Amino acid sequence: MKEIQLEAFLTDVEKPSRYIGTEWNSVHKEISGDMTRFALAFPDLYEVGMSHLGTKILYHTLNRRSDVFAERTFAPWTDMEREMRQRKVPLFSLESRTPLNQFDMIGFTLQYELSYTNILNMLDLAGIPLRADERDHTHPLIIAGGPCAFNVEPLAPFMDVIHLGESEEALHEIVSTYRECQRHDPRNRKFLLERLQDIQGVYIPSFYAPRYHSDGTLEGLDKLNGKAPDRIQKAVVRDLDKVDYPTEPIVPFLEIVHDRMMLEVFRGCTRGCRFCQAGMIYRPVRERSKEELLRQAEALIRATGYDEISLTSLNTSDYSQIQSLVKTMVDCYGPAGIGLSLPSSRVDSFSIGLLEEIQKVRKTGLTLAPEAGSQRLRDVINKNVTEEDYLSAVRDAFGAGWTGIKLYFMIGLPTETDEDIAGIADLAEKAVQIYNSDHKGGQNRRKPLRITISVAGFVPKPHTPFQWEAQDSVDELKRKQKLLKDRIRNRAIHLNWHDAEVSFLEAVFARGDRHVADALERAWQLGCKFDGWTEMYRHDLWMKAFQDTGVDPHFYANRIRPLNEVLPWDHLDSGVSKDFLMVEREQAWSEKTTPDCRFEDCQQCGVCPDLQVAIQLKGGHSDA
Amino acid sequence: MHKYRVQFEKGESVRYISHLDLSKLFQRAFRRAHLPVAYSEGFNPHPKMSLASALRLGFVSRSEYLDVELSEEMDPALVHSVLQKSLPAGIQIRIVRVIPDDAPAAMAVINAAEYSLMCSDLLVAPETAEAALQALLDEDELMVDRETKKGMKRVDLKPLIYGAVVCSDEKKNASIHLLLAASDQGTARPEEVAALLCQKGFCPGEGNIHIERIGLYRRYPDGELKTPLEVLSKDSMVKPE
C-alpha cells in the first residue's frame, strides 16, 4: 500500500501541524494483522477536537489494549480538503496515515448538532458510502456517541451503531464483541449488530423503522429485528474513581482551544436547570475523590509540561471538597508556576472566594451565567440565582481585582416577556454602578471596566422539561436582540449574540426525526460544512436543502408539541422519566423552583432506581 | 545567573510546526524534564528562554539555537540528557553549553544563515547547478518583491548573498549551499533565492526545491564565520576571538 504523501502540499495549507500526528504522548504502535484498528473521528478542526476530553479518555483507554490501535482523525479545513480532493488523497488517520476506509471501526463523537455535515463530508472524503444500508461487512463499522446521541434520529440512516451515555467502559465490550464476531463470522454484519445490541447503551438504528401519522408526527417505531429492545437505556459509569483516566494526554504542537491539563472533578449535575440537557442526561452526580484527583494531577504535570490545570465538570464550585482541593493544589503547585482554572462559576460569593484563591497564581477571565434577566424567569427555568447573589458576586469580583466579566444569558425562553429582556441590560448596568461606586470609576485600575453580555437563542432540547416548547421564530429572536441592544447605554457594556439563524438550525436538529436526514444529506451535497463556524454557515443553502427534500424546518423548531405526542427520542432512555419532565414543566409554568437532590430530598427523576446507580459525593456533604 | 545555550536540530517529524509552536514546545519540555527555568519578574512572569532565529515553517534545520536561564546551576551534560528525553521525535539536541552571564543573546549574535538547496524530484548534474548559480551571480542586481507587514517592498538580494557553492553527493546529485544575510539590517530569504535559481535553470519548479538550514553564524567584515557557541562576549561581537 503506497504511503500517503503530504509533503508536496502541506506548506500550502494553513496550520499544517493539524495533520501530522507526531505530538508528544501520541501513540504509535507496531501494527499486527490481528489488531483492531479504531479511528476516533472528531467532526471538526484539530484545534477543537484536541480540546475534547471525551476523545482523550477513549484514545487512552483503547490504546491500553495490545489488541487495539486507536488513532485520530479530524475534519480537514477547506484548503486541505481542496488539495486532498485534487490529488485524490483520502481522509487518513494522523498517527499512521492509514486511509480511513481501512479501519475496522470509526467512532464519531456527536458534540454539536451543527457538526453533522462534517461527518458526512468525512465519510465521503474517506470513500465510504454515507448511508448504512449502502455499506456491508467490507466497510468499517460506523459508530457514534456523545450527548447528541440522545436524539440521533437525524443521523440515524448514516450510522451502524449508536452508543448512548458514558462510553469508556462499554466501548471495550463493543470492541471485544466485534473481535469475537470477526473471528467466527466476519461476513455476518447482522449477527454482529445483534450481539452489540446486548451491550448497555447500544442502539442499532437499522433495527427500527419510524411510522408517521399523516400530519408528519411520529406514530411509533416498528421493530425490524425480533431481538431489538423497545427502549435503549444509557450506559453509566458507577464509580469514577475506578475508571480509566488519561494521565498522559497528547500535547499538541498547535495552539488549541483548551491548552491545559484537564481533571474531571465529577460527572452529572442535579441543579435541575430546566433548559439544560446535560443536567438531565448525565445524572446522577458522581464525584471523584480528592485523593484520586491529586494523584491524577501529579501524573498529568509530569507527563505534559502544561502550566495550567482545568477543573472541569458541569459546575465545579458544587464539588463537595472544592475548597480543600483548591487550597491543596494552589499550595502544592502554585510555587511551581502551575495555575488552576474553573471554566464557569456559580453566581455567588462562594465561587468568587474560590476564584480569588486560584488567582494567586494567574489571573483568568471571569464568567457568570445568570441566564435570565428577571427573578421570575430565573425561577421558571429553575436557575437558582437571586439578584442579591449576583450583585454580591460581582462586588466581590471587582474587589478581588477583576475588571472584565462575561455574563451568559439566553433569549427566547418559555414564558419570556420584553421585561425579562430589559432585565438583562439592567443586571449589567447594576454591575457597572457597583464598580463605579466602589472603585471610583476605575481610577486606580490598570484596565477599563468591560462587561460582556453574551446572548444565545434558546433551543428546546430533548430529555428536558422544555422538550415540548417551541423556539421563538428567527424574526422574534432578532427583535429581542435589538430590544436588548437598544437598552444598553453604557460604554463599558459590550453585547454579542449567537446568530438567530444558527440557533434555528440547532433547534431543527435537536428535535428532528429521520426525515431531517434527507435535508442533511442534501445540504452537504450543496456544499454545507463547518456550519458552526460563522464564516462558513450558509443559511441560504440550508433553506434550499429543506425545500429540495420537502422537509419543513419550522415543524421541528417552532412547533409546540402536545404532551401526548410520540417524540423521535422516546425510545432513547436517559434514565430520567417523562413523568418527571412533565411535572417539572408544570412547575416551570407555575414559576416554582425545584431543589437539588444532592443537598435536599430526592425529586424522583427516576435515574437512580432505573439504572441502579446512586449519587456519589466523596466529601460526604458539600463544602458549599 | 545560570545561562545555557542549546544547539539542536529540527527534523522531519516537526517540520511543519511554526516558530511560536516550537517556542511553546520547549517551554513544556523543560517543565516535563523538571529543569528549573528562571522566570522574569513583574505582573505576568514568563520563562527566560528564547529561540535564536525564526525558521520558516516547512524547513528542517541541522543547527538552531535556544538560550535559556536556569534558577539553579546544573551540569550541562545532565541538562542535555533530561531535556532530550522530554522532547518529541524530531528535535535532537546537539550541544548544551554554559555561557557567561554577559554573553550577548544568540539572537543578537546571528547575522548570517547557511542553507542547502536541493531539487527533490530529479537528479541535478553539478554542471547544471554551477551554470545556474553563475548566471545568478553574474547579475548586477537581483530584485524581488517581498511582502512585509508594512506592505510590498522591493529588495535587492545581491548584496545579501554572502557566498554560494555547489556541492554534490555520491550519486552526483548537486545541491547549492548559500550563505545569506540574516539580521535586522537585511535578510535574504532562501526561498526567494531558490525561485531565482529555478529561473536560471537549477530545477524545473520552485515547489520542488528542498530547503534545509545547515548553520547560523556571526559573519565578520572580513568574511570570517563563527557560530553562536563561539561568540560569548561583547568583544567577540566586533572581532573574532
Q: Return the number of other C-beta atoms located less than 10 Å from residue A199's C-beta.
A: 18
Residue with cell 442534501: A522
Q: For B16, which of A20, A255, A303 is closest by C-beta distance?
A: A20
* Residue B103 near residue B196, CB atoms below 8 Å: no
Q: Does B89 touch chain A (CB under 8 A)?
A: yes
> Is B17's CB within 8 Å of A253's CB?
yes
In 3D, which of A461, A459, A513 has the Cα closest to residue A154? A513
Whole-angstrom distance, CA of residue A20 vs CA of residue A323: 41
Cα A372 to Cα B196: distance, rounded to the nearest angstrom: 63
CB contacts of B17 in chain A (<8 Å) are 17, 253-254
Residue A1: its pLDDT value, please? 47
Maximum Cα interatomic distance, chain B, rounded to a whole number of Å: 60
Alpha-carbon span B94 to B62, nearest angstrom? 9
Q: A255 in contact with B at a CB cutoff of 8 Å?
A: yes
Chain A partners of B45 at a C-beta cutoff of 8 Å? 337
| Distance between CA atoms of residues A385 and A368, nearest Å | 11
Burial profile A487-509: b = 16 or more Cβ within 10 angstroms, e = fewer: bbeeebbebebbbbbbbbbbbbb
Sheet holding A261-264, edge to edge: A261-264, A308-312, A339-341
Residue A402: C-alpha distances to residues A349, A445, A448 (Å):
14, 10, 10
Q: What are the tens digits of pLDDT across the range B130-176? A: 999 999 999 999 999 998 888 999 999 999 999 999 998 888 889 99
Q: Which residues contact B226 (CB under 8 A, 6 or more apart)?
A: B217, B218, B220, B236, B240
State which residues of chain A have pLDDT below 70: 1-2, 344-345, 360-364, 441-446, 620-624
Q: Give φ, ψ of A412 to 5 degrees.
A: 90, 15
- What integer pLDDT is reported at residue A335 of this predicted model? 84
- Residues from chain A that touch B14, judged by Cβ atoms under 8 A, are 22, 253
Torsion sign over Cα A252, A256, A257, A260: positive
Q: What is the ipTM of this complex?
A: 0.87
In the three-class reduction of DSSP (H, G, I as helix; E, B as strand; rest coil), residue A404 is classed as: strand
Under a CB-based contact definition with an 8 Å cutoff, are residues A342 and A317 in contact? yes
A304 and B32 Cβ atoms separated by less than 8 Å: yes
Catalogue the E-assigned strands of A378-433. 404-411
Residue carrying C-alpha cell 411510522 = A211
Asked if A302 and B28 come within 8 Å (Cβ–Cβ), the reply is: no
Partners of B187 in the beta sheet? Answer: B182
Asked if the peptide bond before residue A284 counts as cis, ω within 30 degrees of 0, the response is: yes
| C-alpha cell belonging to residue A274 | 430546566
Distance CA A596, CA A594 (A): 7
A621: number of Cβ within 10 Å? 9
pLDDT at A444: 64
Q: Is B28 on the interface with A (CB under 8 A)?
A: yes
Strand partners, A446: none
Among residues of chain B, what percentage have pLDDT more than 90?
78
pLDDT band at B185 (very low <50, low <70, confident <90, very high): confident
Given the C-alpha cell 447573589, which residue does it identify? A389
The residue assigned the cell 433553506 is A543
- Helix ranges (H only) for A16-136 are 46-49, 53-63, 78-86, 116-125
DSSP secondary structure letter of residue A35: P
- Strands A286-287 and B209-219, sheet pairing: unpaired
3-state secondary structure of B98: strand
Q: Which residue of A has its CA nearest to B59?
A: A11
Whole-structure pTM value: 0.93
For B182, left (φ over 0), alpha (ψ -120 to 50), or beta? beta
DSSP string of A278-347?
HHHHT-S-EEPPHHHHHHHHHHHHHHH--SEEEEESS-GGG-TTHHHHHHHHHHHHGGGT-EEE-SSB-S
Cα A260-A506-A164 angle, rounded to 5 deg: 65
Read off φ and ψ for residue B4, nearest 5 degrees: -135, 150
Per the CB < 8 Å rule, is B88 touching A8? no
- Write down the residue that cell numbers 489488541 correspond to: A67
Chain A segment 303-322 residues within 8 A of B by beta carbon are 303-307
Q: Which three cell numbers stand for residue B232?
A: 560569548
CB contact at 8 A, B45 and A361: no
Inform me whether the C-beta atom of residue A254 falls under 8 Å from chain B C-beta atoms. yes
The nearest CA of chain A is from the CA of B25 a distance in Å of 7
Q: Is A335 exposed, middle or buried (0-12, 13-18, 19+ CB in 10 A)?
A: exposed
Residue (of B156, B153, B158) closest to B178 by Cα position: B158
CA distances to A11, A89, A99, A468 from A2, in Å: 21, 11, 11, 53
Is B205 at the interface with chain A, CB within 8 A? Answer: no
A259 to A144, A247, A248, A306, A309: CA distances (angstroms): 26, 15, 14, 8, 9
Q: Are A24 and A251 in contact (CB under 8 A)?
A: yes
What are A233's strand-pairing partners? A573
Q: What per-residue confidence (pLDDT) applies to A624?
A: 45
Full DSSP string of A510-533: HT--THHHHHHHHHHHTT---TTS
Check if B121 contacts A (Cβ < 8 Å): no
